[in-house]
Amino acid sequence: MSDPFSLDFDANLALEQSSNGSCDGDYYGSIDDFEKALVTEQPEIAQLVCVLDKPPGTKSKKQQKRDRVVRLKEMTTAGRKLFEPRAQPSVRQDIYETMYSEWSTGPMSLLYRALKHCHRIEVHIRALNRIDRIARGYVTAFDRHMNVVLRDVDEVALPGRKEERLFGRRKFEEDHLPPGMQWQPGGDWPRPLGECRMVLQRYLPCSMIKGDTIVLFRLLQPEIASRSY
């Protein structure tokens, strides 16, 4: 009952039994004597008391900053950096201004003007060794390789003498084209032709022409009809 570390210890009962406020047989003359006896009799408790009495270690501000950076890096998304340069706000430029800065001169300037001002152009398209098709329409899109997309296209073709007698696979493909893509007799060819030559024509809502087959561009507006590339 007099052992203060036992589970059955009663503080009130111990005070009643001790006239001077101390338990019988456990009186220490000073705090130093009590601490010495505690270390001797209860070393485990003395060690825990020392741990509790030890002041918490304080880190320098630099070390605290390093630890904070480490913690933030652990929370950073994979593939991202903790410190990234601030992205400059992008100024959205008008598409025509961008195109003008790149294609204000040379052959591309004609396509740029036709696209911006909705002018109709004429495109001369080659076969192996001659011009065999001419397409007239409005430019919808183009790129630096002179690939062109036209809309409302009127196309005329001048078949070669051998092409007029289609046979085999080519004849099958020609006969099975959609009605809107099939060639019809008629149309005007800009150069004089013999009486036996046949010109074909057709209308296409949209047509894509590869740049490596284009020989000439020409604007069809009256005031600048003489300009071509």
**pLDDT confidence bin for 212, thresholds 50/70/90:** very high
Query: Do the beta carbons of residue 67 and residue 57 sit within 8 Å?
Result: no
What's residue 197's pLDDT? 80
**Cα dihedral sign, 122-127-130-133:** negative
Under DSSP, is residue 149 helix (H, G, I), strand (E, B) or coil? strand
What's residue 223's pLDDT? 54
Only one residue has tokens 């006969």, namely: 175
- Per domain, the residue ranges of the chain are 11-53, 95-224
**pLDDT confidence bin for 194, thresholds 50/70/90:** confident
Give CA–CA dist 211/229, Å, rounded. Answer: 13
Residues listed for the chain: 229
Residue pLDDT, tens place only, 9-29: 887 777 777 655 444 555 666
What's residue 225's pLDDT? 46
Residue type, 157: A
Specify the fold of 95-224: SH3 type barrels. (2.30.30)
